[in-house]
Amino acid sequence: MNEKELEIVVNFLKFGHSTRRIERIIGHPDKKGWIAWDVLKKYGFKDSDKGKLFLYPSTNAKKIIKKVINEHLSLDSVISTSLPEKLEIYRDTFVIAKNETAFYNILKGETRNIIRDFFTPQKKIKGKCQFQDCTYGGELETAHYLKDRPELFKDAAYKNKELLSDGWFKFDVYTTMKMFLENHKKSKSVCFLCKTHHNTFHKLEKNLVELRKFKKLIKFE
């Protein structure tokens, strides 16, 4: 597998990009996905495999891909024995809290940091601010486009809680953080903005009319 083929497979398995989008990234926008799809078929990857390495850092994703190919293993079997490193610190950890909001307040800083680091590779691929006509190509920030970070976390927490006899809840930190990250798989879950446009985004959150106008100027392609 050469570097170009590896780039195609990483974009498919980790970032969940379509073959057409992958070809725009690698500089073949006129091929309609056929080059990328031929590479995926060559190494036995199927459409159902798209995004399966979403939770893994790019370096880990590449190691898994090479292991699958070099040792002729199935992707699912390698994933089952290669858990995401960033989540391991949360394994077998639980929090007792009154509700999902209280649980979020405990891990607010953790959720901010893990999202900042998690999307670093995609920021580099994007290259510049996604706001219309903005050419800033320096350090980008992650903005939640559909649901905000607290809402995504509390959605995950709601599904990973156990009611205790005293009316409080026991939350599984590992499964909640895993599902929280997985909640970002949806298309347009996040966008990458310069600090100026990210600040504007947040300032408009209480003005839904103006916020909708602003969001329409964020370009995803």
Percent of the chain predicted with pLDDT > 90: 71
Can you give the pLDDT at residue 83? Answer: 78
- pLDDT at position 29 is 66
Average pLDDT, the chain: 91
pLDDT at 194 over 70: yes
For 75-104, the pLDDT digits (tens) are: 999 998 887 878 888 999 999 999 999 999
Task: Read off the pLDDT of residues 5-48 as tens digits, 9 standing for 90 and up.
Answer: 999 999 899 988 888 888 888 776 666 668 888 999 999 999 99
pLDDT in tens, 156-169: 999 999 999 999 99
190, β-bridge pairs: 144
